[in-house]
Structure 1
Amino acid sequence: MGKLAPALTALGLAAALSACGSEAAPAPAPTPSVAASPTPSPTPTASPTLAPPVMPEAANAHTEAGAVAFTRYVVDLVNYSFRTLDPRPLERLATKYCKNCRGGTDGVKEIAAQRGAVSGGLWTVKSLQPSRLNVPGDPIAVTFTFDAAPEMVTYPGGKTDRYTGGAARDRLVLTPTSSGWQIADWTVLP
């Protein structure tokens, strides 16, 4: 599962995303990277009153900049899922064809069903690189790098899983919708 597995296993995304079970998207054409300001990780304690992040207006634009803003929003929702074990906002962003997305959100549900608690594991985006894909529907792929903080999952009865975290690189293939974007594919890159 590579460097990404420790940071994602608790969220349930590692098994799903590293499987790369969805159809392969065409390789994106190279474009310059967009430097990302490191986003400070929020406090990793769960809060039942924590509201999901609000999608920024810029994420609605069907442009490369809009796709980058949407990808940042997706990462915010991954962090929200770590903190609250509520994958519903993230689920709503994925097409029914994104098997890796569904596997990941199902993993979050499983941790919640087992009354587990996640500490740490939050992602900090380091860079984003959008590129248009020359296929029908005008999708945009966004390759992004991030650091995942060390993580601990604690279950009732004392079982604890620990993960070291680390640097990772993923790619989202986004398809335009009337309200912004949807995730058509999520791939863990080497």
Structure 2
Amino acid sequence: MTLRPLAAAVALTSALALSACSSDDPDPVVADPTPSAPSSSADPTPSEDSAEPWEEKTPAGAEAFMDHWVEVFNTSFQGGDARPLRELATKDCDSCEPFADLIDSTYEGGGEIRGGGWTIATLTRSARSKTADETVTVTFKQPRMTVAPAGGEPQTSPAQKSTYVFDLDWAGGWAVSQMVLL
């Protein structure tokens, strides 16, 4: 293709565009563009946007995981579904099972657990255990709680503080491998 036919095509297109407007026609109405966030290669990818702090394999991620763990723990205790709590533990975390078992056995026949949720009073990273990727010591504020199994005698525990040491392992995400009450 030579330049002459290309130049003629550009000239013809320009002439047609200009001839479409006449002085008798009203000015075209053009909507203001809506502002949008500029796109750049520095913008995080969608997977980075959706990542939670506790989904990072860092010491800070391990600490943030404990905030997530207590949220899931409270939801499980109040709602009666221990599966999400179990999903935050390794398969060999024998010390994790009593909490999940209490939830299951209480709610199975229509029982309930009453009281507010646990909150973290203090959280510190501990000396790493020989078998864990991270170790944290957490002191929880526990409200007064009543465990009322279906057909059984309700048991009420007073408001208190308790301290646990959590060993955390990373396997594509943090998981509790052991928790010990101090």
- Same fold at TM > 0.5: yes
Q: Percent of aligned positions with the same letter in both sequences?
A: 30
1:122-133 superposed matches below 5 A: 122-131=117-126, 133=128
Q: Distance in 1 between matches of 2:84 and 2:147?
A: 21
Correspondent of 1:139 among 133, 143, 153: 133
Deviation at 1:65, TM superposition (A): 0.7
Match of 2:174 in 1: 181
Shift of 1:93: 1.3
Match of 2:164 in 1: 170
1:94-133 equivalence runs, <5 A: 94-131=89-126, 133=128
| Cα distance in 2, alignment partners of residues 70 and 100 from structure 1 | 18
Q: How many residues were matched structurally?
A: 133
Describe the SS at the equivalent of 2:95: helix
Distance 2:100 2:150 in 1: 21
CA contact (8 A) 2:107 2:150 kept: no
Instruction: Decide whether aligned partners of structure 1 residues 56 and 106 sit closer, same or farther in structure 2, where only a CA change above 3 A counts.
Output: farther
Q: CA deviation at 1:103?
A: 2.4
Post-superposition shift, 1:157? Answer: 4.6
| CA–CA separation in structure 2 for the residues paired with 1:81 and 1:134 | 28
How many angstroms apart in 1 are the aligned matches of 2:177 and 2:90? 5
Taking the aligned partners of 2:165 and 2:51, their CA distance within structure 1 comes to 20
**CA-to-aligned-CA distance 1:150-186 (integer Å, 9 cap, x gap):** 01223445732211120110111001122x2111111
Is the Cα contact below 8 Å between 2:168 and 2:176 reproduced in 1?
yes
Counterpart Cα distance in 2 of 1:159 and 1:56: 44
Give the deviation of 1:132 after TM superposition.
5.4
Corresponding residue for residue 80 of structure 2: 85
Deviation, structure 1 residue 56: 6.6
Q: Specify the SS of the correspondent of 1:128.
A: strand
**Equivalent position amino acid for 1:103 in 2:** P
Unaligned runs of at least 5 residues, structure 1: 1-54
Give the structure with the larger helix fraction: 2
The one-letter amino acid of 1:66's match is G
Q: Any residues of structure 2 matched to 1:4-83 within 5 Å, and which?
A: 57-83=52-78
Say what the alpha-carbon RMSD is for the aligned residues. Answer: 2.1
Q: Give me the whole-angstrom Cα distance separating, in 2, the residues matched to 1:103 and 1:133.
A: 24
- Classify 1:134/1:164 alpha carbon distance in 2 versus 1 (closer, same or farther; 3 Å): closer
Q: What are the ranges of 5 or more consecutive residues in structure 2 without an aligned counterpart?
A: 1-49
Give how far 1:188 is off: 0.6
Larger radius of gyration: 2
TM, length-normalised to structure 1: 0.64
Between the aligned partners of 1:88 and 1:126, the Cα distance in structure 2 is 25
